[in-house]
């Protein structure tokens, strides 16, 4: 083994670039080991898609893949959210060029392609970190030697000194050894292990060293191209993580400036050549500032549209913290530097592990801080500042772009990892044997820290015992290695001292007798010196590899235990038939836009995953006002950036034009079933499960309708969705004899669309229920007793005796009765519906939601069971039936709607002749759509181009260019046989593209001027 390590060091010394090949092979082997150890696909059935990557990132990458393969427009997509700004979506999720790898793989290999991209980015991070450290430290003497040769060829002695610093064999071996492990630990840092599923953040991890490298080239050689290219790439690929990179680089430029000032001053003292230090630094700062601005301009075609659409998202409107407070202690931060700690994703301390040497090297860091404070102190202070930022709420708020992150705390922790690796590398890369005692002191401190940490000693579970045992083991190995190095250095010192005594002819002294020189060591002990060093070297190498393997497997296992790595087979098993059905329907409909959804879908972005025009969405860039309005209409969602169609009301599906629904069960059994033969699907392209049906909604409306009433002042302002629907239908059918009052079915002579139905209480267990305003208020608690309200009643739904449970019953009063239920609960509430003794519906209520129940026949008995997992919770329950007569009037109205034809996803066309009846020509006409509002939409009709306004808002929009759904005021010159065109360009995209072109032009001019100046200066010298 020792011979292999020596061969590695020797080969990388002879050919420095070979270290990149070794890094590539080592990190690739580590990835293979992790794949096998964790049984990830293809070594097992698990996949790395977890947390948001399961619900968001993978579906969005699938949507991007489909668009690129079919050369579709990237501005707008109808695959999710009824229509979203796809440009700003991919600007956050999917602009990395690594995603092009998915084009080489089939659609059902999406999880595997996702994993390959992660591994590729991790390996790239190791390579870029290696490139940065080599340039910043190892190649610096060579650059100075070249500069000295150009300025003063006569100074041969100094030239030889600078060259020897770069070419000395022993130093080069140690440098490459430290470089190899420093780069690997950065690539597999705690931040990467915690957030590797957050695939779009990894670009910033591997680009940060390159941006820092470009910054260093500006100050040392005034080479500008690398910095502007890398910073532009970082901003374009993911503008969010670019915030962290830009803030860090702004602070880090001070560190580089001080480093360069110190080095130039030492060079000037040694050679006597004037360096014009302050002038050069000022010029470098000017270059840095100018190129930073130019990089932002180059990325403007992404940044400007993102900024213009930012006010529509949930991230807008955060306010500065009112008070300053600190949340973490120094112990919390130190513990996160140990190996094998739990990954913190939802909340907790930062993920900043970069190897235990960050703790072992603390004494060495203090030594260097005392020896060369100008080099170490700025980095140490910046590390302290970032560490304080983890704890301080104000600094944390600033680092996150003046935004409070929704879970996933300390998202900028990778900049701390980068700076920590650089600082430790600076203290160890030119390791001198006489520094062994400081390494020994650090190892002792780390051992004491592991043994004496009170928090660790009080952990009783096996998981934390493993954490403590592993760190203690590593500390002892590092302690032994440092002890061997220190002992070897002590023997070397004694040998030199004895040689000095012999040189002045002092008599030999036997071992064990004391003199002023100490103890004499016999030559036998000197033979141990190389063996001690070799043993220490082998121990250190094995410990570093073992620590890297242990931490990687341990933290990914913890990620699996807490967030779960799902089955690859379960994720892709329905890709073939759902995509095939979607493709067949698209061929049948041609250009006509239609919508499809999946009942209780796999992800919240199934439309993007299976390539159909869907409704549900979960995206940080989605329209917040639309999400709020969806909540008001009883659609499941977080009221911020997501809404999911699970068991939609028939009325909602009709209003929003959901023409097809993948359904399992009897809820939508009254919808006609699609015949697979009509879609011309092969047996392999058909569902392999008999209970899964594709059903067609016969009453689905188009995507827009024309009306002579202004609905801008209509708001979904009631918490109860049934009331909002009643008011909407009353507003759209003003001449009909209907009401928007909320009343019991049959209680009022004037009907409403939705009418409350009375429910009978049959059983309550650890719960109590009261009735008010035709709704039922459920309260669960241990103080309530179990009670059956009918002695003859026997539940057909199994009842768990230890759960808080309530059962309500209802008997249908007419045929084809449309019954639904709305629940608003503060805790997760489990719902089961049985009809005539057979369980038909199960559902889990988390957010407030209205759920459709199967169509009833007169006399059907319905049992509704509500159960809490624990004996606590409160819920409001409302059941409603849709009035047939009002529904008929509504469907007649919706029959006169428009179906858009999609020339592309950003250009829609509709023919007004499709309307069966034309409103009075003398009235102002309005076009109301069920497409989410975005100010980038424009309407062309009657020779005019008109802006959009919004409707179906939950409240009056606070900003002018915001709202829930899209609407237009049609021009008075419009004829009913005309066509209307809707086209979409992301807001400010054109202006952003113009700024980008200007930025590229200015960058080229600036770099050309600097190039001419630099060449002219070289000729003068």
Q: Is the pLDDT of residue 360 over 70?
A: yes
Strand ordering across the sheet containing 965-969: 704-707, 926-932, 965-969, 949-951
Please choose, from the candidates 50, 331, 34, 379, the residue with its C-alpha nearest in 3D space to the C-alpha of residue 188: 34
Q: Tell me the CA end-to-end span of the chain in Å, nearest whole number.
A: 51
Q: Is the pLDDT of residue 502 over 80?
A: no
Q: At 305, is the pLDDT very low, low, confident or very high (cuts 50, 70, 90)?
A: very high
Phi, psi of 781 (to 5 degrees): -175, 160
H or E stretch covering 862:
strand 861-868
Q: Give the model's pLDDT for residue 766.
A: 82
* Mean pLDDT on 8-34: 79
Q: How many residues does the chain have?
A: 1021
* DSSP-assigned letter for residue 294: H
Q: Is the pLDDT of residue 92 over 70?
A: yes
The alpha carbon torsion through 27, 29, 35, 41 (nearest 10 deg) reads: 100
Q: At 264, is the pLDDT very low, low, confident or very high (cuts 50, 70, 90)?
A: confident
Q: Is the pLDDT of residue 394 over 70?
A: yes
* DSSP-assigned letter for residue 511: T
CB within 8 Å of 276: residues ≥ 6 apart: none
Full 3-state SS string of 242-272: HHHHHHHHHHHHHHHHHHHHHHHHHHHHHHC
CA distances from 254 to 206, 260, 418, 673 (A): 22, 10, 16, 68
CA distance 320 to 394: 8
Q: Are 900 and 909 in contact, with CB atoms under 8 Å apart?
A: yes
Which range is least confidently modeled, 293-302, 381-390, 442-451, 778-787? 778-787
For the chain, the C-alpha Rg in angstroms (whole number) is 35
Q: Give the model's pLDDT for residue 157.
A: 54
What does the pLDDT look like over 800-848, one tens digit per residue?
777 888 899 999 999 999 999 999 998 899 999 999 989 899 999 989 9
* Mean pLDDT on 677-702: 87
CB within 8 Å of 856: residues ≥ 6 apart: 812, 816, 817, 819, 835, 862
* Mean pLDDT on 492-498: 66
Q: At 402, is the pLDDT very low, low, confident or very high (cuts 50, 70, 90)?
A: confident
* Mean pLDDT on 346-350: 87
Average pLDDT, the chain: 85
Q: Is the pLDDT of residue 1004 over 60?
A: yes
Q: Give the model's pLDDT for residue 507.
A: 52
Strand ordering across the sheet containing 804-811: 787-788, 760-765, 804-811, 861-868, 829-835, 838-845
Q: Is the pLDDT of residue 311 over 80?
A: no
Maximum mean pLDDT: which of 203-217, 406-420, 502-516, 936-950: 203-217
Q: Is the backbone of residue 100 left (phi > 0), alpha (psi -120 to 50) or beta?
A: alpha
Phi, psi of 102 (to 5 degrees): -65, -20
Q: Is the pLDDT of residue 516 over 80?
A: no
What does the pLDDT look like over 134-190, one tens digit per residue?
999 888 766 665 665 555 555 555 555 545 555 555 556 678 888 999 999 999 999
Which range is least confidently modeled, 42-46, 79-83, 496-500, 911-915? 496-500
Q: At 754, is the pLDDT very low, low, confident or very high (cuts 50, 70, 90)?
A: very high
Q: Give the model's pLDDT for residue 168.
A: 52
The alpha carbon torsion through 723, 726, 727, 733 (nearest 10 deg) reads: 180
Q: Is the pLDDT of residue 561 over 60?
A: yes
Q: What percentage of the chain reaches a pLDDT higher than 70?
A: 86
Q: Are 1019 and 307 in contact, with CB atoms under 8 Å apart?
A: no
Q: Identify the bridge partners of residue 636 per DSSP, sorted by sequence position.
A: 644
Q: Are 547 and 474 in contact, with CB atoms under 8 Å apart?
A: yes
Number of other CB atoms surrounding residue 874 within 10 Å: 16
Q: At 76, is the pLDDT very low, low, confident or very high (cuts 50, 70, 90)?
A: very high
* Mean pLDDT on 614-635: 92
CA distance 443 to 652: 66
Q: Is the pLDDT of residue 618 over 80?
A: yes
Q: Which long-range contacts (CB under 8 A, 24 or more apart) does 452-458 make?
A: 453/331, 453/335, 455/331, 455/335, 456/335
Q: At 236, is the pLDDT very low, low, confident or very high (cuts 50, 70, 90)?
A: very high
Phi, psi of 932 (to 5 degrees): -55, 145
The alpha carbon torsion through 192, 196, 199, 201 (nearest 10 deg) reads: -30
* Mean pLDDT on 974-988: 87
Q: At 910, is the pLDDT very low, low, confident or very high (cuts 50, 70, 90)?
A: confident
Interstrand relation of 76-77 and 861-868 (parallel, antiparallel or unpaired): unpaired
Q: Give the model's pLDDT for residue 389.
A: 93
Q: Is the pLDDT of residue 210 over 70?
A: yes
H or E stretch covering 361:
none
What does the pLDDT look like over 656-671, one tens digit per residue?
999 999 998 889 999 9
Q: At 509, is the pLDDT very low, low, confident or very high (cuts 50, 70, 90)?
A: very low
Which range is least confidently modeled, 87-91, 295-299, 594-598, 788-792? 788-792
CA distance 931 to 929: 5
- Give 920 or 207, the one with higher predicted confidence: 207
């Amino acid at each position: 083994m020792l011979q292999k390590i020596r061969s590695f060091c020797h080969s990388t010394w002879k050919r420095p670039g070979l270290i990149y090949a070794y890094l590539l092979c080592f990190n690739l082997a580590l990835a293979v080991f992790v794949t096998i150890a964790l049984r990830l696909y293809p070594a097992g059935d698990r996949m790395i898609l977890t947390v948001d990557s399961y619900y968001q990132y993978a579906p969005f990458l699938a949507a991007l893949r489909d668009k690129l393969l079919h050369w579709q427009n990237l501005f707008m997509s109808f695959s999710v959210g009824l229509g979203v700004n796809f440009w700003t979506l991919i600007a956050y999720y999917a602009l990395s060029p690594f995603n092009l790898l998915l084009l080489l793989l089939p659609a059902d290999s999406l999880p595997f392609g996702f994993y390959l991209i992660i591994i590729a980015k991790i390996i790239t991070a190791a390579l870029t970190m290696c490139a940065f450290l080599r340039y910043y430290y190892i190649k610096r003497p060579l650059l100075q030697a070249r500069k000295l040769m150009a300025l003063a060829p006569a100074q041969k002695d100094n030239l030889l000194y600078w060259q020897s610093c770069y070419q000395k064999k022993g130093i080069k071996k140690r440098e490459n050894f430290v470089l190899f492990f420093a780069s690997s630990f950065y690539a597999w840092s705690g931040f990467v292990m915690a957030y590797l599923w957050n695939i779009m953040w990894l670009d910033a991890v591997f680009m940060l060293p390159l941006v820092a490298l470009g910054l260093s080239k500006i100050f040392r050689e005034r080479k500008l191209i690398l910095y502007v290219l890398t910073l532009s790439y970082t901003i374009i690929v993911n503008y969010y993580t670019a915030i962290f990179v830009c803030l860090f680089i702004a602070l880090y430029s001070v560190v580089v400036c001080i480093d360069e000032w110190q080095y130039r001053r030492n060079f000037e003292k040694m050679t006597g050549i004037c360096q014009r230090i302050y002038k050069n630094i000022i010029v470098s700062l000017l270059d840095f500032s100018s190129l930073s601005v130019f990089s932002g301009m180059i990325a403007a075609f992404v940044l400007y549209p993102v900024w213009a659409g930012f006010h529509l998202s949930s991230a807008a409107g955060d306010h500065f913290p009112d008070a300053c407070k600190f949340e973490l202690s120094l112990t919390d931060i130190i513990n996160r530097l140990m190996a094998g700690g739990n990954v913190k994703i939802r909340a907790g301390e930062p993920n900043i592990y970069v190897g235990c040497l960050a703790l072992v090297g603390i004494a060495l860091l203090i030594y260097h801080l005392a020896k060369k404070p100008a080099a170490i102190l700025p980095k140490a202070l910046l590390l302290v500042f970032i560490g304080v930022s983890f704890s301080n709420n104000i600094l944390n708020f600033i680092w996150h772009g003046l935004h409070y992150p929704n879970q996933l705390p300390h998202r900028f922790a990778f900049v701390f990892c980068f700076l920590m690796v650089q600082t430790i590398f600076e203290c160890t890369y030119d390791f001198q044997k006489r520094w062994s005692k400081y390494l020994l002191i650090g190892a002792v401190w780390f051992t004491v820290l592991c043994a004496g940490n009170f928090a660790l000693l009080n952990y009783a579970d096996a998981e934390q015992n493993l954490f403590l045992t592993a760190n203690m083991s590593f500390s002892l190995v590092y302690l032994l290695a440092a002890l061997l190095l220190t002992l070897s250095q002590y023997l070397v010192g004694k040998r030199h001292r004895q040689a000095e005594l012999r040189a002045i002819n002092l008599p030999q002294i036997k071992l064990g007798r004391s003199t002023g020189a100490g103890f004499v060591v016999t030559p036998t002990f000197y033979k141990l010196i190389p063996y001690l060093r070799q043993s220490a070297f082998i121990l250190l190498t094995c410990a570093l590899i073992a620590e890297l393997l242990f931490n990687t497997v341990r933290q990914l296992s913890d990620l699996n235990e807490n967030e779960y790595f799902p089955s690859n087979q379960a994720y892709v098993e329905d890709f073939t038939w759902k995509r095939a059905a979607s493709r067949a329907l698209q061929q049948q409909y041609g250009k006509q836009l239609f919508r499809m959804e999946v009942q209780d879908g796999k992800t919240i972005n199934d439309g993007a995953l299976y390539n159909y025009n869907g409704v549900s969405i979960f995206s940080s860039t989605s329209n917040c006002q639309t999400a709020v309005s969806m909540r008001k209409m009883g659609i499941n969602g977080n009221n911020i950036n997501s809404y999911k169609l699970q068991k939609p009301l028939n009325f909602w599906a009709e209003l929003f034009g959901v023409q097809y629904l993948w359904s399992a069960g009897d809820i939508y059994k009254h919808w006609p079933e699609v015949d697979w033969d009509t879609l011309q699907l092969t047996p392999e392209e058909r569902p392999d499960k008999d209970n899964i049906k594709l059903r067609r909604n016969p009453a689905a409306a188009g995507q827009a309708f024309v009306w002579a009433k202004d609905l801008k002042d209509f708001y979904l302002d009631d918490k109860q969705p049934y009331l909002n629907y009643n008011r909407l239908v009353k507003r759209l059918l003003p001449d009909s004899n209907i009401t928007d009052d909320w009343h019991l079915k049959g209680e009022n002579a004037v009907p409403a669309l939705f009418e409350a139905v009375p429910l009978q209480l049959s059983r309550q267990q650890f719960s109590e229920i009261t009735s008010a305003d035709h709704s039922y208020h459920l309260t669960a608690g241990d103080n309530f007793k179990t009670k059956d309200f009918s002695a003859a009643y026997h539940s057909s739904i199994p009842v768990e005796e230890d759960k808080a449970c309530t059962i309500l019953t209802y008997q249908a009063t007419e045929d084809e009765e449309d019954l639904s239920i709305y629940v608003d609960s503060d805790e997760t509430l489990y719902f089961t519906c049985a009809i005539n003794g057979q369980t038909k519906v199960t559902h889990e209520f988390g957010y407030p939601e209205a759920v459709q129940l199967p169509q009833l026949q007169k006399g059907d008995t319905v049992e509704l069971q509500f159960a809490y997992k624990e004996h606590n919770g409160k819920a409001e329950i409302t059941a409603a039936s849709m009035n047939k007569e009002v529904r008929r009037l509504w469907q007649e109205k919706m029959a006169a709607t428009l179906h858009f034809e999609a020339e592309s996803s950003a250009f829609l066309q509709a023919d007004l002749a499709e309307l069966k009846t034309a409103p009075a020509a003398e009235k102002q006409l309005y076009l109301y759509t069920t497409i989410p509002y975005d100010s980038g939409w424009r309407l062309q009709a009657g020779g005019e181009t008109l802006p959009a306004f919004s409707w179906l808002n939950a409240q009056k929009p606070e900003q002018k260019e915001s709202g829930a759904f899209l609407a237009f005021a049609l021009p008075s010159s419009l004829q009913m046989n005309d066509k209307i065109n809707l086209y979409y360009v992301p807001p400010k995209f054109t202006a952003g593209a113009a700024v980008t072109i200007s930025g590229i032009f200015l960058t080229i001019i600036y770099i050309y001027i600097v190039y001419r100046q630099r060449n002219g200066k070289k000729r003068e010298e």
